Amino acid sequence: MSDREKQHIALPLKYRPMNFGDMVGQEHVVRTLRNAIESGRIANAYLFIGPRGIGKTTTSRILAKALNCTNPQGVEPCGACENCKQIAAGRSIDVTELDAASHNKVEDVKPIIDAVQFKPVASKYKVFIVDECHMLTPAAWNALLKTLEEPPPYVKFIFATTEGDKLLATIISRCQRFDLRRIQTHQIAARLRYICEQEGIAAEEDALLAIARGAEGGMRDALSSLDQLIAFKGDKVTEEDALGVFGLVSRAALEDLAGAILKGDAATILRSVEMFDSAGKNMRRLSGELLQHFRNLLVYQTLGANAAGLEATPDQIKTLAEQAKLCDASRIFRVADQLATMEDKLRYVLSVRTLIEMTLIRASRIATVASIEELMRAVRNLRGPVDAPAAASPRLAAPAAAPPCVAAAPTPPQAASPAPKETPKHVLTPEEQRKIMDDPKLNAFMGMFKGAQVTDVS
């Protein structure tokens, strides 16, 4: 059976992106690189910064191929010409890769400096890819710096590193810098789904989600885990298998816990935490994932199901839609705030479980008890529409997908048209919105809710 043979190639290798179109989750980088190639405005040096396993080396190679391909398809490398094939195999005479983790001294970069003087042999450009470039010694950087400053037009440098903050400003300023993001969980899950289809693997949707969650934004790690699970379990992968590998709580259990918080159901909260703890689940991950869930809930409530910042699979979105009815945005915001504070404390606390229990109970009270501000607002509204502050920020009105709800009590089925503005519904103030979008703790887990999407808000 050929399936068996196929599996001999490790999945991360087999499904490594071959061109810009294959790359997942780095649209901002891909767009800029494509434009550069299309317009012929190619920088002397590129710098890719980002955590491991998210595609820095892959991007470097694709860029090298795009620069030297003899038969490009638009801006994409063809993948079939001699240059493309040799670069992919790491054998191109004009593309040199240096792993600075193990080759970081002056004598290691000397060959590069010497080679720069000679024109490329079989390609348009001589490309030097320096991986883990933060490991180069200051002396090695000094030796390179002059070349980096004024390289011949046929020379291009590509630097990649996991630790951009260790690079000197003099180096960064000579490069065009790109920060690669952790890839969103649902994007990884979708890629895993595609690969399973190609490989004839029957995997549960939640199993793929669990693998993606466990990979924490790294596509390579996700593919390695899938590979291992297939080797271990054959061509059927269940959520339970995947959860066992990472010590994660199942999607359904996590969502139930979030639901219990929203409903103020302390008994279920305590029972769930006890169950997760005794099952040996990773409690720190649990807290992080809960925070991620509430962050998604906030994004859903404020911006709707199609918000660019919503990091959720279709199944998760279904749950978000249901839970969005249980509580209004300002309370969810305060719950998320509690969880974010807990994240900080978890680093120092001895009894993780106790802290989680206490925080979740507190959060569940916040979710169900009206705050002073809410009462004040209600009082103001009773007095009549004198100054009507709610109408002052119409751009923040909740989308149709997020029905208004005021108290903990479930709302009537549908609020029909969005016409009446006088309901005492609270929408997030611009200040609160900005805080959600900017709070590093709220965003720490996927770390990519920046830039373009956020500007949609205001």
Q: Which region, judged by CB under 5 A, interacts with Zn ion, from 78-86, 114-122, 197-205, 302-310?
A: 78-86
Rounded to an integer, what distance in angstroms lies between the CA atom of residue 144 and that of residue 369? 62
CA dihedral 72, 77, 78, 83 (to 10 degrees): 100
Give residue 140's Cα distance to chain centre: 33
127 is a contact residue toward Zn ion (CB under 5 A): no
Task: Kindly state the smallest distance separating residue 73's Cβ from Zn ion, in Å.
Answer: 8
Q: Which residue has the tokens 């191929």?
A: 65
Cβ 219 vs Cβ 183: under 8 Å: yes
84 is a contact residue toward Zn ion (CB under 5 A): yes
Q: Give residues with Cβ within 8 angstroms of 342, minimum separation 6.
A: 287, 291, 355, 356, 359
415 is a contact residue toward Zn ion (CB under 5 A): no
130 is a contact residue toward Zn ion (CB under 5 A): no
Q: Which region, judged by CB under 5 A, interacts with Zn ion, from 29-37, 69-77, 216-224, 331-339?
A: 69-77
Task: Kindly state the smallest distance separating residue 129's Cβ from Zn ion, in Å.
Answer: 17
81 is a contact residue toward Zn ion (CB under 5 A): yes
Cβ 118 vs Cβ 155: under 8 Å: no
Helix (H) or strand (E) holding 279: none
Task: Kindly state the smallest distance separating residue 30's Cβ from Zn ion, in Å.
Answer: 18
Q: Burial, 133: exposed, middle or buried (Cβ in 10 Å; 0-12, 13-18, 19+)? A: buried
Binding to Zn ion in span 309-338, by CB under 5 A: none
346 is a contact residue toward Zn ion (CB under 5 A): no
Q: Which region, judged by CB under 5 A, interacts with Zn ion, from 66-74, 140-148, 263-271, 342-350?
A: 66-74
Structure tokens at 193: 């789904």
Buried b / exposed e along 293-322 (16+ C-beta atoms within 10 A): bbbbbbbbbbbbbebebbbbbebbbebbbe
78 is a contact residue toward Zn ion (CB under 5 A): yes
Task: Kindly state the smallest distance separating residue 329's Cβ from Zn ion, in Å.
Answer: 51
Task: Kindly state the smallest distance separating residue 228's Cβ from Zn ion, in Å.
Answer: 33
> In this chain, which of 62, 63, 69, 143 binds Zn ion, going by CB under 5 A?
69
Q: Which region, judged by CB under 5 A, interacts with Zn ion, from 53-61, 83-91, 207-215, 274-282?
A: 83-91
Residues binding Zn ion (CB under 5 A) = 69, 77-78, 81, 84
